[in-house]
Amino acid sequence: MPAFGFVADDLTGAADVLAQARRYGLEAALVIGDAPLPRDADVVGFAGPARSLSGAAFDTLVGRDLAGIAALNLDVLLYKVCSTFDSSPTLGSIGRGIELLHGQFPLHGAIPVVPAQPGFGRYTAFSNHYATYSGQVYRLDRHPVMSRHPSTPMSEADLREVLAGQLASGTVPGAIHLPAYVDGTFKDAWAERRREQGAQAFVVDAVDELHMDAVAEALTREEHGHGPSLVVGSGGIMAALARTVSDHAPVAPGPQQASGPALAVSASASSTTADQISDAVEHGWVEVPVPAELLARHDPELVAALDRCVAAELQAGNNVVVHTTRGAADPRYGAGKPVDAGYVGTLIGGIAARTAAAGLTRDIAVCGGDTSSHALIAMGVRQLRVSSQFVTAGPVLQADGASAVAGCRLLLKGGQVGPIDILRRFAGEPLN
């Protein structure tokens, strides 16, 4: 039976949970939609497009997944959010997710919020959140990418204030700050925050793996008379939980080998992804831009033409990257109203599904956190497991046999993650 479970607000984040568990020797699986949860894994969970949803659609999806996982006798349940806290009061609200957690587990008490992932350059200090970009650490509201995020730009770094703006009560949550780790008060502070009357959440600082391990220890030592211990956080929490229960040495990422030409599909507007696409194109990948007209409205003839172009390049033995934008400066990105994540995710996922079904590629990368869930749904994926370790937060996955991409190597890459040469590494190309 699984010991740990998760409900993730997007597919790339859920893939990171699988990667962290597998890295320390735990078997992990995720399911999409209403597929049954497997019972032969140590870590199981649901993943869906909650980060790109709002209102009733958000409540329905997250509520369904929480109800489904509540049937398991878990030790710890992680509500997985991005380590850059992507959310707003109206889109992918983490505060609303916390309220739904309380609705499913009303006797739990205040829920710790721990988005730090030190191994990935994500830190929380005195409740302010920081993230690394191009080797520099930025406060979230000054981060070159997150402060200008196309869907959820972050104008506040204090996570207490972010949550207060998302919780219906408007109450500013409490916190456990860094000195508690060194002055011996962490355990008492944790117990005090957990039983604080009327509190819904509290933010926990962490800037290194020892801090994360202290949080994992606190989660696993709690009594479970009223359901699992709950935590809101990133893949850093799963890594720490795995370390607490496993004596397995960390698995090092291995080199990749493609079986033929690789296909990358991207709906990410991140400058990180734009740089990765540029690197691939500069080293021989063929780019196939999605026409601006197709982003404005669905046109079956344009889709068919796009499919033919992708097929011709793959048949010629070329690695291909299909993209809806190369960064926020791309003219397609600024033209017209913002493109719906569900629409573009389904569009790029359909391209990948059809090329895989035609046997044109067995190696597919999907770039973009908000759109990845929609892309995988379009591919008919119901379950994913790790097939090999790869870059941090980006394992190579394998889908269930009933999907259009069964038997393919799948890489799910969030917008802000990965080295610049990630696509070439995935394709097994020799690097300079």
Ordered structural domains, the chain, with CATH: 4-245 (3.40.50.10840), 263-426 (3.40.980.20)
pLDDT of res. 373 = 84
Question: Residue 23: what are its φ and ψ, rounded to 5°?
Answer: -60, -35
Q: Which residues contact 287 (CB under 8 A, 6 or more apart)?
A: 277, 280, 281, 320, 321, 322, 323
Q: Give the number of other Cβ atoms within 10 Å of residue 199's Cβ.
A: 16
Beta strands 229-233 and 76-80: pairing type? parallel
- pTM assigned to the model: 0.88
| pLDDT for residue 63 | 96
- Distance CA(131)–CA(88), nearest Å, equals 18
Percentage of residues of the chain with pLDDT beyond 70: 97
Which residue has better confidence, 429 or 5? Answer: 5
DSSP letters along 112-152, please? EEE--BGGGTEEEETTEEEEEETTEEEEGGG-TTGGG-SSS
Residue 121: both structure tokens together: 């350059």
- Is the dihedral angle over the CA atoms 301, 306, 310, 313 positive or is it negative? positive
Q: In this predicted model, which residue has the larger pLDDT, 268 or 188? A: 188
CB 277, CB 321: distance < 8 Å: yes
Give the pairing type, strands 363-367 and 409-413: parallel
Q: To the nearest whole number, what is the mean pLDDT of the chain?
A: 91
Q: 């909650």: which residue's tokens?
A: 50
Locate 218 and state its tokens: 């606190």
Span 80-85, mean pLDDT? 94
Q: Is 101 helix (H, G, I), strand (E, B) or coil?
A: helix
pLDDT band at 332 (very low <50, low <70, confident <90, very high): confident
Q: pLDDT digits over 107-142, tens only? A: 999 999 999 999 889 999 999 999 998 889 999 999
What sign does the CA torsion over 330, 13, 376, 298 have? negative
- What is the mean pLDDT of the segment spanning 47-52? 88
**Residue labelled with tokens 């997007």:** 10
Please give the Cα distance from 370 to 271 (Å, whole number): 15
Q: What does the pLDDT look like over 277-321, one tens digit per residue?
A: 999 999 999 999 999 999 888 999 999 999 999 999 999 999 999
Q: Is the model's pLDDT at 405 over the cut of 80? A: yes
For 216-264, write each residue's pLDDT tens digit: 999 999 876 678 999 999 999 999 999 999 888 887 777 788 889 999 9
pLDDT for residue 122: 96
State the Cα–Cα distance between residues 215 and 117, nearest whole angstrom: 12
Per-residue pLDDT at 432: 65
SS3 43: strand
